[in-house]
A and B are shown apart, each in its own frame.
Chain A
């Protein structure tokens, strides 16, 4: 089978499996939520509401129907693309996700870019003299940032830069005294557009200031992964036969590193990036909670606490779908870039 055909078959298989995977995940979440102790009626009415009021609300929310009926309804709605309404706010779940997901993506993408930039630079910096001081510092950085407990790092960063120095806001996504820009939900882009259109750059400055601490903290935590991955893969590549062959042909060390070793060392990094992106779509819960960042993970945590079944189900299904898309995309990208990959 030709490589192109194999790639096509692989893609087709993943596409066929994706709905099955989503169905499994959705069913599992549906079941686990109902098995878990706690009642959404408590979240809406409180615990002291009379039984009649509770029964009326249960009926209104469709919670009095059999589990099978509820499951059937859930799947039927899902097939129609209807994620239902939040039990608490009665807002459409799709709308809530539409508000929260851009916040998480904005934070995640910025953090990932920063992490890649810093992590790869640090990982690269020690290559000139392996086991030298710079290499050792890079190794320590990689291990240290990877091992940092996220909640501790986030609180420390918050304490130093927001509370003690007062340089940046403590939390939130946008200055409270300004009206958030409307548009895509990505405040950086929306406020940039607003600035370009009206010359008012306050919104952009505000968005940037609010994004800086959570994004930098998340980037710091993620950068160690890139540092370690690049360091190890680059060292492995530099010790390989094709690099030795290049050197023996008289190619300069810089050319050897940049042209021969680096592209090969970056391929595993691409896979790691894919996995990191996938995990970031679900949100960086501790970062979002610490910095009061209204992202999807923050929302999911609240919805779980309130046993808001439709909202939890909706968020999990959407996040799972995005994770599937990202992982397939990364797999394809790696396959396209690396001729050694077989299917």
Chain B
């Protein structure tokens, strides 16, 4: 009967031998290709369906927009050759298109292809609402000239046309999919061709006939790993060459940043276009009282929270429009001032024996939300224990989004990233209102955002800003934001910038003005 212990010992020995053997069988990395990892999975690569970070990041490498935002945030023509030319009535716009461009299937790019792609996007695009209320029709006014007929004058058209979802697709390849998405293939004009696609892994090869600057590497393998530990570990073991910060926990980001400071990694940072904020339900007690909202705004120690939650990786924010977009440099929301907060709480009838019980909802599947709420809870207990007590309420994000517009939450923590880097893309989705009753928004973005806040005349001012340009428009939008800050229906909290880390032998990663990693610039350095 001694056979069996021997058998077990043999098995254990075999296992111990098996792992190093497999390690020895390590697949040889082809040095000329680069592996880029993120947590984002790509459900569909069709521009009409792509809305997640992973999908737009992929599209930006395999497609070209009409205009693009460079790393410095400057708008530059890509498939267009010049900025849109507005005709006399302000409603007709002509865009000259680049000649000599070819799709990945070898067919030529021209105005007809652009019309096909835009009409397809307007008809079946998930994000078609971005253009629906602005563009009435599209037509080819020449072989390489596009004519857009607008519904109303708009000054942000070039920015809107820089949306990667408007990248043209080959009419030949998409003929059977004019009214239906093609989720797993892409035939566009970008610097890379998509040769293999799954939601977890995409293989990109440089496009030999690309009209612009050729990629500096011999191909990219984009992979998605399911959790932050896996991403961090893969970077540490050298399994991946470049790691994107999406889905990475703050402590892992911090560790990577420290490695970059020591020179063992290279870190690149993109524009901070995502904001974290708290929405207050202004149509219901207690936050229908503006004094209480201002008190809450003064009670928020953003710097401390940012330090505790993200070790400073998420800078404190006191505006709805990120500084990189507004370029004003002014902080519009009230600063942290516990004494002033106490005074305002008193004015609202709290403190001195009566505490405000604030139910703050957060998305339980977002680790930073939970940390923020717990930190703020502790900070309020320290500063204003006799005036307010915070009651955290975690909820799955899908449920939060569904119930937001129904006014289910007195206060809820959310984030937002504008579709284009323009103040309008932050103000309209949070405060525009199509039907109001005094200071209550009954229908519109403000209601959908869960704040239900508006002011008489605010919507008209927002609409007026659309027809303006330059400094006049910037001033008006700043004034709108200032009015919002005074009423404090939202409490901006922090900014989130995309980051990427590359192994030491690679060039420092760079981002474009839309916060997407420039994959074609990644290269090994001698």
Contacts and interface: CB of A to CB of B under 8 A. Distances in A.
B35 interface: yes
A13 B3 CA distance: 45
A240 B129 CA distance: 76
A171 B398 contact: no
Given A38-B398, A176-B221, A289-B226, A89 B183 contact: yes
B251 interface: no
B102 to A, nearest CB: 25
Nearest to A307: B398
A158 B229 contact: yes
Given A45-B126, A99-B198, A177 B226 contact: no
B467 interface: no
Given A99-B198, A128-B1, A162-B237, A176 B129 contact: no
Interface in A75-95: 86, 88-91
Interface stretch (B19-27, B306-314, B327-335, B509-517): B19-27
B233 A253 contact: no
B22 A167 contact: yes
Q: Which of A46, A253, A254 has the most CB of B within 10 A?
A: A46
Interface stretch (A15-23, A298-306, A315-323): A298-306
Contact of A178 (B27, B225, B404): B27
A270 interface: no
Interface stretch (B4-12, B81-89, B256-264, B291-299): B4-12
A99 B199 CA distance: 11
Contact of A172 (B26, B132, B201, B237): B201
Interface residues of A, number: 76
A134 interface: yes
A168 B33 contact: no
Interface string B169-195: 000000000001101100000000000
Nearest to A47: B401
B120 interface: no
A209 B230 contact: no
A173 B181 CA distance: 27
Interface in B429-479: 429, 443, 445, 448-449
A302 B23 CA distance: 32
Interface string A219-239: 000000000000000000000
A42 B225 CA distance: 24
Interface in B27-62: 27-30, 33, 35, 41, 43-44, 49, 51
A89 B44 contact: yes
Nearest to A128: B1
B505 interface: no
A37 B229 CA distance: 30
B126 A44 contact: yes
A266 to B, nearest CB: 15
B493 to A, nearest CB: 18
B41 A302 contact: yes
Q: Which of B43, B224, B448 has the most CB of A within 10 A?
A: B43
Q: Which of B41, B51, B239, B404 has the most CB of A within 10 A?
A: B239
Contacts of A128: 1-2, 4-5
Nearest to A117: B11
Q: Which of A42, A177, A179 has the most CB of B within 10 A?
A: A177
A37 B429 CA distance: 23
Given A38-B399, A88-B43, A170 B4 contact: no
A298 B39 CA distance: 14
A172 B448 contact: no
Q: Which of B51, B227, B231 has the most CB of A within 10 A?
A: B227
A170 B234 contact: yes
Interface string A171-197: 111111111100000000000000000
Interface string A120-151: 01101111110000100000000000000000
B402 interface: yes
B379 interface: no
A269 B25 CA distance: 35
Contacts of A159: 229, 233
Contact of B230 (A167, A257, A291, A294): A291
B183 A91 contact: yes
Interface in B85-144: 126-129, 132-133
B343 interface: no
Interface string A43-77: 11111111111000100000000000000000000
A305 B230 contact: no
A206 interface: yes
Contacts of B402: 37-39, 42
Contacts of B15: 216
Contacts of B223: 172, 176
Given A127-B1, A162-B233, 8 more contacts: A48-B429, A163-B232, A167-B22, A170-B225, A171-B225, A202-B28, A208-B25, A209-B22
Would you list the 6 A-B pairs with minimal beta carbon distance, nearest first? A128-B1, A163-B233, A292-B226, A176-B221, A38-B398, A167-B23
9 contacts: A52-B132, A158-B233, A163-B232, A167-B19, A171-B234, A175-B27, A208-B25, A290-B230, A305-B396
